[in-house]
Structure 1
Amino acid sequence: MSFSLYYLCAVVRKQRTGISSFARNTTFRGRIKMDKILIQIGEFGWYQKFVYFLICWSTLFSGLYEMMSVVLLNTPEHRCKVPGLENDTYDIHSTYQQNLVNNYIPPSVDESQNYDRCHLYAFDYNDVKFDNSGRPINATLVKCDKWVYSDSVMKESLSTKLDIVCDDTYLIPLVKSLYIVGKFIGAFVFGNLSDAIGRKTTLCVALMAMFGLTFGMSWSSSYIVFAVIITAIGVTTQGVFPIGFVLGVELVGPSKRKYTGLVAEYFFSIGLVILAGVSFLVRDWFIINIICSAHAALFIFYWWLIPESPRWLISKKRYQDAYTVLQKIARSNKVTIDHKILEEEMTTEASEPVGRVWQLFSKSMLARTLIILFNWCIVSMIYYGLSLNAGNLGGDFYLNMSLSGLVEIPANAMVLLLVDRVGRKKIYCICMIFGGCACAATILPIVYNETENEVIITTLAMIGKFGTSAAYGTMYLYSVELFPTVVRNAGLGASICAGRIGGIVAPYIADSAALISGLVGKIFPLGMFGLLSIIAGLSSLYLPETLNKTLPETMEDSKLLGKSAYMSLGDNDSKEDKNHFYYNKGYRSEKGNTNL
């Protein structure tokens, strides 16, 4: 996943008030003082680096299982088992076996497949004639219930173990969608839990639950058991990556947050690459899952190694516990800290504005809201769809999976470098259209000669993944800056829901080649992703730019956003407000700017 929502929310929370009202809000004063404390005791000392590395390791664990279903449910080349032939294998080992295969297995109507995958000939051997190729004349086609599989990609996958092929093919995209449904549920469960019981406790509970589920998944005895477990794993991932991400960001000073956010994304992408590497070396779903999950047993030590977020402790008025954590950070950085430093935090925090979901669909916000929700749905659908489709591309299965993970690293770096220079709108629009055109361009090489053009198709698909990954990261930041303060939380929640809906639909498009026969099935996934990406990119042109603009507070502010009358940064620096405020490029103080 690209630029994390949870890092950006941590930044945007400091932007929710306007410049004038900011100085009067004690909630944000407390947050600024917390940043000033971290600047004083060390923004990213060795202890913070150590804790952050541990958090990144858990992020890598989450990345390992983001695309695990692509490996576990890999469906290799297969055909019906020849009746009466014991120890039949997909590969031909004798002339006798070849003759029986010719007698019983029909040729495929798809030129890319050697055999019909789901049918065999039924006939009476005592009353049948064969043509010159050994095929029976006037035989009846019947569906089979036993299959043999090629082991060129996987020695055994869960699909081959449970025979999830032919009429049951639809079960594969279904279980991939259930994983996204689990993430949808987990966002609500662990998001609220982390605010109630703390980041550390929530992270440790989620890690242990995810370890138990992933390790136990190796003994799935049926499709239903596997589907339930993979859904539950989806739930727990929302307590691992997002909550760990927030904890890591809250432990570092303001000038380091953007970079810690990016590094965590790198570990997530590295997890995708490691999964491809382990799968290539092992090629057995059971052992792959054991290897990828067993190391997570060490996460039990996180309870003693990782501290609670001092920001959360302060929000719960547990000042002594917060002081203990800050003292440990200061001691590791060879800085002394005064116990009185938190006294000013012990004030009653003012409540923040509360909006209602229906306000998103008022006359002034309707068009903008629908475009934002549409773009969230599409960019999420394409990101997950292209990741899942990597296993369906021609060429080497493992190389495609590795490239799909690796391409996210430069995409994240590009967003980091350009989003505050070029602007959110331009970056998002260009990346969506660029990635969409690359995906749509795969139609021509597929139509003309898919086998000979595998390199071209894969290259175009990875360019599409690059553009989508960059757009995904940009959309997180862009959308939260478009909603006014009074409905920002509601808007963000609605956007996440739209994104999850897109993610749920993605597997059905990515795996449509198995559901739609012929050439149409081959060009449909990337062609559809490309078309939707271009449409979404063009629709974003309606949205205003937010770079160097103060965040809108009210509906009236939102109406003016993008117009010449709207306030840019620096236009309203009154004397009483010049000391401290946040804006959408960093933290400004009397000493200058510190980028977040």
Structure 2
Amino acid sequence: MTMKFDEILEKLGQFGIYQKKVFGMLAFPAVSIGSFCFMVIVVLYTPHHRCKIPGLDNDTYEIQGQFHEDLLNKTIPLSADPTLTYDQCRMYDTGNALLDLSRRQSNATLVKCTEWVYDKSVFYETFTSKANFVCDDALKTSHIQMFFYFGVLVGDFVLGMFADSLGRKKALCLALALLLVVSASVTWAPEFYSFAILQFLVGAFAHGAFMCMAVYCMEIVGVTSRVWTGMFLQIFFGVGAIYLATVSFLVRDWIWINAACVIPCLFYLAFWWLIPESPRWLISKGRRRESVTIIRKVADANKVSLPDSMLEVKEDDKGTHGNLWHVITSPVLLKRTLILSFDWMIVSMTYYGVTMNSGNLGGSFFLNFLLMGVAEIPGYLVGIALLDRVGRRWCNAGGLLVGGLACIATVPTVLLGNSDLQWLTVALALIGKAGSSLAFGVVFIFTGELLPTVVRNAAMGTCSCAARVGAMLAPYIAKSGEMIGGEFGQIEPLVVFGGLSIVAGLLLLLLPETLNQKLPDTIKEGEEFGRKSIPPYDIELEIEAPFIIKDANTKPVCNGV
């Protein structure tokens, strides 16, 4: 008797002891990867700063006494930003100026700084303060973040192809080993270009490894466990932000913060001996003897007995294939793919951008950053609870709409309120982050179920790459608020993220619901999906996780957060 691998998984256990052990091990690198994906926000944090007083070697940002304050008033002009005391980028040219005993320079021109002193109340040192990425060079921090997320895009594609050709285990172990090397090398980066290149590589190997883990986890569990397994993997990704916030608060130096995230990667080298290759991938490559060995090991661990007749396995073969050209030439599928691509871009932009803006909200940076990580967990849990009750479309759109409205609601709390309402501003931003996390968790499932099988992976790749574009734009939007300054600069990024989230959420309502519907296989079925009555279908038997890559001819997908 020849059986499909999913049927064997039903006999082995959808999520048995063996799968739980492997999933538990992979949860740890998921946390580390979450830390690396938010690391650029911490190491590129811009402290408050001002020009260094010329000739004063022991100058500090903190006022040391009356003489120091008098010297500051004679050297540094007051800031036009009401949230700051002194100008951050200019000083008086005192070369030919007359000293004014009223403690202000008269007849003195303003010149740009060449040296700065930094507020060390938040971080003792960041790479931004070390390399002086402030004033005219302030956008270099956004450029580096853009390089990082471009690395995410490249890494997902390259490691996806490697995982398809040489195996999930080899791709994952290689990515984790290279992540250890390049993340440790960041510590010795001397300037902008080397640091940007290393961050590009960190993004590529970190998120590429996460994509390999997502595919691997979806392939070793049964169809009824794929949805929540994928959601919980993203919860562990969010826990990485919590870990990073905690370490940052305790250490407060970018080199040691980086080290605290690098050191656990040493233990992940042991995965080469601890986790097996994906049996589904081995079967797709015709390596059935190796797959049977692993299946027997899973059966022993799960205390299940399998007859030899069940081990003659085969993979699904739909018999037809498609590509993006079929999507482009179909008005219905093109409209749906464009809406979904915009959705992915805005979800990713908001997910990362709101966290990047946490230092601009006022109050404690560490508390804000920690709460941004914590806010992800209820977002994903709400998704798990509501996904099969209210449907994919409303979960996705609802997350965007609620999150977007919360972000825009920060306008009155900042402009019309006072410092007493700062907690409400942070709370609304957290709702925005939770909403984007909910939408991010659901969008993978919704997209995979809505698009027909023959073009699913190709269209998913397009949507996921749109998400990377959103992530690359996020640091510039977050930085714009910092550069604008004042109360408007505090809310401007949130207004942008919130407004775009509302637009994306409303557009999603134009798409059909996929809950309890038979998944479309052909282009014709995809065009007719949602346009005529389709009998309800048992989603537990039909759901096909978008992470699964089924054969050697399938193109890789940039999945993951």
TM-score, structure 2 normalization: 0.92
Give, in whole Å, the separation in 2 of the partners of 1:527 and 1:360. Answer: 33
- Pairs within 5 Å for 1:236-385: 236-345=205-314, 349=317, 351-357=319-325, 359-385=327-353
Give, in whole Å, the separation in 2 of the partners of 1:220 and 1:496. Answer: 30
With 553-562 and 283-292 compared, the bigger mean Cα shift is at: 553-562
One-letter identity of the residue aligned with 1:220: A
3-state SS of paired residue (2:419):
coil
Shift of 1:277: 0.2
Verify the 8 A CA contact 2:397 2:506 in the aligned structure 1. Answer: yes
Match of 1:392 in 2: 360
Give, in whole Å, the separation in 2 of the partners of 1:43 and 1:275. Answer: 33
Pairing 1:80–2:51 present: yes
Match of 2:71 in 1: 100
> CA RMSD, aligned part only?
2.2
3-state SS of paired residue (2:509):
helix
Shift of 1:165: 0.4
With 361-370 and 307-316 compared, the bigger mean Cα shift is at: 361-370
Match of 2:38 in 1: 67
Q: Identify if the C-alpha distance between structure 1 residues 160 and 237 changes in structure 2 by more than 3 Å, giving closer, same or farther.
A: same
Match of 2:482 in 1: 514
1:17-72 Cα deviation digits (max 9, x unpaired): xxxxxxxxxxxx98x73223223233433333222211111111101111101110
Pairing 1:196–2:156 present: no
Give, in whole Å, the separation in 2 of the partners of 1:209 and 1:260. Answer: 26
3-state SS of paired residue (2:11):
helix
Q: Identify if the C-alpha distance between structure 1 residues 472 and 444 changes in structure 2 by more than 3 Å, giving closer, same or farther.
A: same
Pairing 1:505–2:453 present: no
Give, in whole Å, the separation in 1 of the partners of 2:505 and 2:234. Answer: 24
3-state SS of paired residue (2:61):
coil
Match of 2:559 in 1: none
Pairing 1:208–2:177 present: yes
3-state SS of paired residue (2:520):
coil
Give, in whole Å, the separation in 1 of the partners of 2:424 and 2:122. Answer: 21
Match of 2:450 in 1: 482
Give, in whole Å, the separation in 1 of the partners of 2:286 and 2:233. Answer: 29
- Pairs within 5 Å for 1:509-548: 509-548=477-516
Match of 1:463 in 2: 431
Match of 2:551 in 1: none
Give, in whole Å, the separation in 1 of the partners of 2:271 and 2:458. Answer: 33
With 37-46 and 95-104 compared, the bigger mean Cα shift is at: 37-46
**Equivalent residue in structure 2 for 1:552, among 520, 530, 551:** 520
3-state SS of paired residue (2:415):
helix
Q: Identify if the C-alpha distance between structure 1 residues 361 and 480 changes in structure 2 by more than 3 Å, giving closer, same or farther.
A: farther
**Equivalent residue in structure 2 for 1:568, among 524, 527, 535:** 535
Shift of 1:186: 0.9
Verify the 8 A CA contact 2:368 2:426 in the aligned structure 1. Answer: yes
Match of 2:104 in 1: 135
Q: Identify if the C-alpha distance between structure 1 residues 481 and 35 changes in structure 2 by more than 3 Å, giving closer, same or farther.
A: closer
Pairing 1:34–2:5 present: yes
Shift of 1:350: 5.9
Q: Identify if the C-alpha distance between structure 1 residues 41 and 358 changes in structure 2 by more than 3 Å, giving closer, same or farther.
A: closer
- Pairs within 5 Å for 1:423-434: 423-434=391-402
Shift of 1:436: 0.7
Q: Identify if the C-alpha distance between structure 1 residues 396 and 193 changes in structure 2 by more than 3 Å, giving closer, same or farther.
A: same
Shift of 1:360: 2.9
Verify the 8 A CA contact 2:241 2:370 in the aligned structure 1. Answer: yes
What is the count of residue pairs matched by the alignment? Answer: 545
Shift of 1:557: 2.8
Verify the 8 A CA contact 2:345 2:471 in the aligned structure 1. Answer: yes
Verify the 8 A CA contact 1:198 1:312 in the aligned structure 2. Answer: yes
Give, in whole Å, the separation in 2 of the partners of 1:468 and 1:191. Answer: 25
Q: Identify if the C-alpha distance between structure 1 residues 286 and 514 changes in structure 2 by more than 3 Å, giving closer, same or farther.
A: same
Shift of 1:428: 1.9
Verify the 8 A CA contact 2:4 2:316 in the aligned structure 1. Answer: no
Shift of 1:293: 0.4
Verify the 8 A CA contact 2:415 2:488 in the aligned structure 1. Answer: no
Verify the 8 A CA contact 1:217 1:229 in the aligned structure 2. Answer: yes
1:310-357 Cα deviation digits (max 9, x unpaired): 111111111111111111112223333344432243x89564422333
**Equivalent residue in structure 1 for 2:125, among 146, 153, 156:** 156
With 39-48 and 459-468 compared, the bigger mean Cα shift is at: 39-48
3-state SS of paired residue (1:142):
strand
One-letter identity of the residue aligned with 1:114: T
Q: Identify if the C-alpha distance between structure 1 residues 503 and 520 changes in structure 2 by more than 3 Å, giving closer, same or farther.
A: same
TM-score, structure 1 normalization: 0.87
3-state SS of paired residue (1:271):
helix
Gaps of 5+ in 2: 546-561
Shift of 1:239: 2.7
Match of 2:542 in 1: 582
Shift of 1:448: 2.6
Match of 2:404 in 1: 436
Verify the 8 A CA contact 2:148 2:203 in the aligned structure 1. Answer: yes
Give, in whole Å, the separation in 2 of the partners of 1:547 and 1:255. Answer: 14
1:544-569 Cα deviation digits (max 9, x unpaired): 12222222234433333223x33122
Higher Cα Rg, which structure: 1
1:458-482 Cα deviation digits (max 9, x unpaired): 0110011111111122222212222
Shift of 1:517: 4.3
**Equivalent residue in structure 1 for 2:201, among 232, 250, 253:** 232
**Equivalent residue in structure 2 for 1:415, among 371, 383, 386:** 383
Shift of 1:370: 2.3
Pairing 1:218–2:187 present: yes
One-letter identity of the residue aligned with 2:373: G
Gaps of 5+ in 1: 1-28, 574-579, 586-596
3-state SS of paired residue (2:416):
helix
Q: Identify if the C-alpha distance between structure 1 residues 361 and 440 changes in structure 2 by more than 3 Å, giving closer, same or farther.
A: farther
Q: Identify if the C-alpha distance between structure 1 residues 314 and 441 changes in structure 2 by more than 3 Å, giving closer, same or farther.
A: same
3-state SS of paired residue (1:365):
helix
With 293-302 and 552-561 compared, the bigger mean Cα shift is at: 552-561
One-letter identity of the residue aligned with 2:515: L
With 304-313 and 477-486 compared, the bigger mean Cα shift is at: 477-486
Give, in whole Å, the separation in 2 of the partners of 1:556 and 1:255. Answer: 27
Give, in whole Å, the separation in 2 of the partners of 1:367 and 1:548. Answer: 23
Q: Identify if the C-alpha distance between structure 1 residues 372 and 350 changes in structure 2 by more than 3 Å, giving closer, same or farther.
A: closer
Match of 2:91 in 1: 120
One-letter identity of the residue aligned with 1:355: N
Verify the 8 A CA contact 1:390 1:401 in the aligned structure 2. Answer: yes
Q: Identify if the C-alpha distance between structure 1 residues 555 and 319 changes in structure 2 by more than 3 Å, giving closer, same or farther.
A: closer
Give, in whole Å, the separation in 1 of the partners of 2:316 and 2:37. Answer: 41
Give, in whole Å, the separation in 2 of the partners of 1:112 and 1:98. Answer: 19
Q: Identify if the C-alpha distance between structure 1 residues 43 and 294 changes in structure 2 by more than 3 Å, giving closer, same or farther.
A: same
